[in-house]
């Protein structure tokens, strides 16, 4: 179960970030490694797996459906695939904690199984919109009940015959795209998803790594039902979304020089590099290489004088999880930063526009939240007590803000940092952030 909300971070002002660190494995790729490994024929060996609560929720869901999984131990997981038709009915509802990715991707898979199943989550996940997946899945022939607001639990009926559809996604969402492609593995004919803007493509890359054909023409991605997945080896790179806190921290701190090792730099994830560089950040990539179908690099970041910018809207889906940290960078920049076209931030683990605006205002920053973004006047960061509302990325972003704050910052409700970045406080301390966990 996701932890209680009793963890507080107290971060002293000042400090800096130095040295070489490796942040934990990529959350999106780790989820998919379990899902595709479980559905493959043969044993899939994973290294670099993220042992965060979200990924453990996915792993436990597949164990509950009869898949033998060894580990995780120091990032190693071994999954004995049962094939596309080998999952067994779980004894009870599948509890997915805080993890939207688990619920949305699993809804596509479960809709195609022979058995019924119920997906549930914690308070945050129970408030998140699911019609974006249940509506197109119903078009494919699935039968799924949500509550009246279109939120979890999801009661998914088994034994439905799915048919391929051609779906024009109204929101740029990798979770919706992946959900439909996974359902498409079981559907009659071809399932195609057209995305309004590029979103992370780990599902497509990994399906191909497991020997499943994926066709892509411009922004339309298609799979044909009825194929099979063949087990493989996967090396999960460090998560660029976790690296982001250190990139922002090193950019705003005085005297910082940090290298983040072996980070995934998939072009659909590097919005944060593009945005920070446009703001004047000093970021260098080294040792660029391909690892199991995903590009990786070491990222060196040094202190810089950031300036406010108008964030290009096309970068938004490519940096969708990074905005809490980017807002902190903007608060330390010279001039105004304007974000538009980011309404999706309101339906993440928390309402990230409102929660960040509230916290930054408490710290004395001049910000104005808008329906789909934020206006931030760069200046001084004060001191104070902020709420993360159980949102891991909000907690870690405010922790980094202390590197430029006038006094200590106390952040409440930080236990969910473990959903994506177990060991964050220890690693940040080693790098030079003066954080204490209470």
User: Which residues of this chain interact with ligand S3P, rule CB under 6 A?
Assistant: 28, 101, 173-175, 178, 199-200, 320-321, 344
Could you give the dihedral angle defined by the CA atoms of residues 394, 400, 406 and 410, in that order, rounded to the nearest 10 degrees? 50
Q: For the chain, first and last CA: distance in Å?
A: 20
Least distance in angstroms from the C-beta of 230 to ligand S3P: 23
Nearest partner of 394 among 429, 437, 332, 345, judged by Cα:
345
Please say which residue, 129 or 335, places its beta carbon nearer to ligand S3P.
129
> How many residues can be counted in the chain?
438
Which among 321, 391, 413, 418 is annotated as catalytic?
321
Closest residue to ligand S3P, judged by C-beta, is: 28
Please say which residue, 303 or 416, places its beta carbon nearer to ligand S3P.
416
Least distance in angstroms from the C-beta of 48 to ligand S3P: 16
Could you give the dihedral angle defined by the CA atoms of residues 23, 27, 28 and 31, in that order, rounded to the nearest 10 degrees? 140
Please say which residue, 69 or 174, places its beta carbon nearer to ligand S3P.
174
Least distance in angstroms from the C-beta of 27 to ligand S3P: 7
Angle in degrees, CA 401, 404, 409, rounded to 5: 50
Please say which residue, 202 or 404, places its beta carbon nearer to ligand S3P.
202
Question: Rounded to an integer, what distance in angstroms lies between the CA atom of residue 235 and that of residue 282?
Answer: 28
Question: Rounded to an integer, what distance in angstroms lies between the CA atom of residue 203 and that of residue 216?
Answer: 12
Side-chain-facing half-sphere of 115: CA atoms under 13 Å: 12
Please say which residue, 131 or 305, places its beta carbon nearer to ligand S3P.
131
Residue 174 main-chain phi, psi, to 5 deg: -70, -30
**DSSP alpha helix (H) spans, 130-253:** 131-139, 174-184, 202-209, 240-252
Please say which residue, 193 or 402, places its beta carbon nearer to ligand S3P.
193
Nearest partner of 328 among 270, 266, 272, judged by Cα:
272
321 is an active site residue:
yes
Element (H, E) at 117: strand 117-120
Question: Rounded to an integer, what distance in angstroms lies between the CA atom of residue 53 and that of residue 417?
Answer: 9
Least distance in angstroms from the C-beta of 335 to ligand S3P: 28
Neighbours of 336 (CB within 10 A): 16
Please say which residue, 160 or 392, places its beta carbon nearer to ligand S3P.
392
Least distance in angstroms from the C-beta of 284 to ligand S3P: 26
Kindly list the distances between the CA atom of residue 38 and the CA atoms of 34, 158, 294, 404, 420, in Å, as whole numbers in the listed order: 6, 18, 20, 45, 21
Q: Return the CA Rg of the chain.
A: 21
Asked if 97 and 103 count as a contact pair (C-beta separation under 8 A), the reply is no
Asked if 391 and 348 count as a contact pair (C-beta separation under 8 A), the reply is yes
Please say which residue, 279 or 319, places its beta carbon nearer to ligand S3P.
319
Which residues carry out catalysis? 321
């Amino acid at each position: 179960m996701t932890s209680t909300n009793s963890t507080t971070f107290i971060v002293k002002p000042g400090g800096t970030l130095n040295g070489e660190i490796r942040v934990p494995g990529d959350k999106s790729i780790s989820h998919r490694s379990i899902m595709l490994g479980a559905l493959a024929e043969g044993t899939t060996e994973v290294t670099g797996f993220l042992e965060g609560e979200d990924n453990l929720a996915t792993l436990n869901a597949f164990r509950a459906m009869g898949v033998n999984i060894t580990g995780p131990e120091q990032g190693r997981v071994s999954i004995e695939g049962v094939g596309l038709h080998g999952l067994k009915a779980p004894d009870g509802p599948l509890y997915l904690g805080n993890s939207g990715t688990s619920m949305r991707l699993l809804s596509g898979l479960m809709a195609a199984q022979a058995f019924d199943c119920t997906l549930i989550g914690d308070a945050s996940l129970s408030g998140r919109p699911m019609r974006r997946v249940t509506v197109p899945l119903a078009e494919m022939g699935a039968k799924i009940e949500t509550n009246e607001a279109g939120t979890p639990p999801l009661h998914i009926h088994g034994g439905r015959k799915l048919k391929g559809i051609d779906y024009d996604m109204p929101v740029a969402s990798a979770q919706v795209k992946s959900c439909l492609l996974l359902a498409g593995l079981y559907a009659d004919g071809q399932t195609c998803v057209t995305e309004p803007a590029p979103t992370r493509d780990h599902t497509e890359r990994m399906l191909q790594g497991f020997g499943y054909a994926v066709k892509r023409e411009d922004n339309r991605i298609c799979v044909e039902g009825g194929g099979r997945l063949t087990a493989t080896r996967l090396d999960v790179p460090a998560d660029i979304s976790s690296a982001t806190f250190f990139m922002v921290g090193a950019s705003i701190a005085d005297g910082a020089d940090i290298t983040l090792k072996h980070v995934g730099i998939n072009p659909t994830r590097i919005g944060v590099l593009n945005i920070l560089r446009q703001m004047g950040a000093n970021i260098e990539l080294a040792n660029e290489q391909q690892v199991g179908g995903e590009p990786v690099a070491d990222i060196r970041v040094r202190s810089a004088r950031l300036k406010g910018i108008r964030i290009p809207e096309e970068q938004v889906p490519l940096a969708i999880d990074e905005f809490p940290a980017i807002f902190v960078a903007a608060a330390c920049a010279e001039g105004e930063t304007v974000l538009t076209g980011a309404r999706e931030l309101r339906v993440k683990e928390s309402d990230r526009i409102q929660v960040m605006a509230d916290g930054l205002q408490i710290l004395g920053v001049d910000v104005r939240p808008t329906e789909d973004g934020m206006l931030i006047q760069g200046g001084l960061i004060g001191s104070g007590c902020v709420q993360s509302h159980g949102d891991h990325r909000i907690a870690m972003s405010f922790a980094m803000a202390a590197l430029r704050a006038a006094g200590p910052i106390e952040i409440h409700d930080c236990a969910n940092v473990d959903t994506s970045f177990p060991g964050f406080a220890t690693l940040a301390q080693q790098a030079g952030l003066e954080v204490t966990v209470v």
